[in-house]
Amino acid sequence: MNSEQGRLETGEMVYWRAGMRNKALAGPFVVLSVLDAPLDVPGVEEPLDVIVTAYDARYGLTCLLLDSTRLTARMAQEAAA
């Protein structure tokens, strides 16, 4: 994570923040792209500003458009336990 900007960086491995985990895909994820401005998607109230990828046995290689504030470059303690 770029400490000056507090933003995720392309190629970085990221995890869900504590309490933000998605039941379908647990992660970890690799950041493919950080958007300069969030996408405005009708019906979605989160700022979708990062594209990540992950491999899941059920879904295979998956790309997701997510809110970067739900992710962290450090593994959450709850996931490590």
Predicted structure pTM score: 0.79
Confidence at residue 59, expressed as pLDDT on a 0 to 100 scale: 83
Percent of the chain that is helix, strand, coil (3-state, to 5):
10, 45, 50
Confidence at residue 18, expressed as pLDDT on a 0 to 100 scale: 86
How confident is the prediction along the chain (81 residues), in pLDDT tens digits per residue? Answer: 443 446 799 999 999 988 887 777 888 999 999 999 999 899 999 999 999 999 988 889 999 999 999 999 876 544 444
Confidence at residue 27, expressed as pLDDT on a 0 to 100 scale: 81
CA 52 to each of CA 49, 75, 81: distance values in angstroms, whole numbers, following the listed order: 10, 16, 24
Confidence at residue 81, expressed as pLDDT on a 0 to 100 scale: 46
